[in-house]
Amino acid sequence: MEYAGLKLNIENNIALLTLSRPQSLNALNSEVLGGLNEALKQLSHDKDLRGLIITGEGKAFVAGADVKELAAMSPSQAFTFSRKGQQAFKRIEQLDIPVVAAINGFALGGGCELALACDIRIASSTAKFGMPETALGLMPGFGGTQRLCRLIGYSNAIFLMSTAETITAEEALRLGLLQIITEPHQLMETAMDVAQKIASKGKYAVKAVKELALKSTTSNFADGCELESEVFAGLFGHPESSEGMQAFLEKRKPNWKK
């Protein structure tokens, strides 16, 4: 399946969404953001899906927003553009399944923001990261000011955004921006291994973990713990938990189809 600037493939209940504008380093424009929203809307209705991997075609993951389009925007058009990107990235967060970013190259500006919206980030050792918007007299507009601070802390985030500095995959790992670095030729295999490992676990349990983890960023600790107890208890009423615990006691792999 193809959308504007995107390719979508689904195999063995794992979806692979590829940004496919290699001639422009997969830069995000209004058309691509529209396609991304449509693809994610479709994926949200696929109840058999167990994981999503997002990557880029060519030497970039996403090198940022399309500056040619930005340069012609009025303030009202820029607001609409920002909200369209935020909507797409929010859809990533709201998927029931974990989303893995397989970062194959440049992840700058909007590309870095796209990676931040994913749950797990795996990068090639040659990948580069940065928020260069201030060098253009701009700032992140797709939720980056919020997600980056929550992920790596205020001081690290404000340093990257205000200096517009580009960092290596190793530095991104040190800051907590990444979970895994691989050799370039092993990137997609590693990302698929992680997605399949998640898919082998309890579907409803993984969904619950993602839901509660996301709520931790906006709720206070006490409210989060109360909700955790409610969702934890709710899993005990589902056949999946009975099968998982019985399989453990019987020293066998669980059959989640039960």
| Residues designated catalytic | 113, 133
Can you read off the two tokens belonging to residue 165?
Answer: 């500095």
* Distance (Å, whole) CA 118 – CA 148: 12
> What's the angle, vertex CA 48, arms to CA 1 and CA 257, rounded to 5?
150
Give the closest residue to 141 by CA, choosing from 106, 112, 110: 110
Which residues on neighbouring strands pair with residue 65, listed in sequence order? 28
* Beta strands 2-3 and 6-11, pairing class: antiparallel
Give the closest residue to 62 by CA, choosing from 107, 18, 14: 107
Query: Under a CB-based contact definition with an 8 Å cutoff, are residues 122 and 190 in contact?
Result: yes
* Radius of gyration of the chain, Cα coordinates, nearest whole angstrom: 19
DSSP summary character for residue 74? -
